[in-house]
Amino acid sequence: MKPTIVVEERIHHKKSWDEIVQLGMEAREMKDSAQWVLGDLAMEVETFFPGKLEEFAAQIGVNKETMRRYKTVSQSWPPETRLPYLSHRHHQVLASRKDRKEWLEKAHDNSWSCEMLGVELKKSEGKWDDKMAVASMSFGRGEIQEIINWYRYIYEHWPERLNDFSHQVYEKMERFLKKTEKG
């Protein structure tokens, strides 16, 4: 399969929203497809060339642990059980579960992201609480710094556009950054 995304095309041709969405979907499908192909090939290597999986991974430039993970996912999900509308990652999250087919169907029926699938699994196991909910929404320092920079720019150029709430958020993020500075 030859990718339809070509750098020259992106530079010289303005695409419509639908074209961009279509190319994005194709790219995601190519990524998922590559993960399945590599996992399936890893199973073949293990079957016909025992002990050569690390060498195979090295020769094609894939981390050996990544290759093992792809193989495990492919073993757990034979081609006829894979749902093409869900990502390889959805399948990976569920690979070790006995009830994986049921959960994959739930993820599909409810249009869950991988993160939401993880949340629902934790809820079903009674491992979800308010602290986890807050942690799942947390920003990393880099993300907070980007937001701070954005707020600072707006504040310096258009201070009247920052309402009281926005200003409070800005101040709280500033305090968070100061508390978490390494030094």
The pLDDT, as a whole number, for residue 183 is 44
- Residue 41 has a CB neighbour count (10 Å cut-off) of 17
State the Cα–Cα distance between residues 144 and 130, nearest whole angstrom: 21
pLDDT digits (tens, 9 = 90+) for 73-85: 999 999 999 998 8
The pLDDT, as a whole number, for residue 51 is 95
Could you tell me if 86 and 108 are in contact, meaning their C-beta atoms sit under 8 angstroms apart?
yes
Could you tell me if 77 and 95 are in contact, meaning their C-beta atoms sit under 8 angstroms apart?
yes
What is the pTM assigned to this prediction?
A: 0.62
Shortest CA distance to 42 belongs to which of 30, 28, 54, 32?
Answer: 54
Q: Looking at per-residue confidence, does 170 or 135 come out higher?
A: 170
Q: Is 172 helix (H, G, I), strand (E, B) or coil?
A: helix
Could you tell me if 64 and 54 are in contact, meaning their C-beta atoms sit under 8 angstroms apart?
yes
The whole-number average pLDDT for the span 160-177 is 72
**Which amino acid, one-letter code, is at 127?**
K
pLDDT digits (tens, 9 = 90+) for 22-75: 888 888 788 889 999 999 999 999 999 999 999 999 999 999 999 999 999 999
Residue 132: phi, psi to the nearest 5?
-65, -35
- Residue 38 has a CB neighbour count (10 Å cut-off) of 22
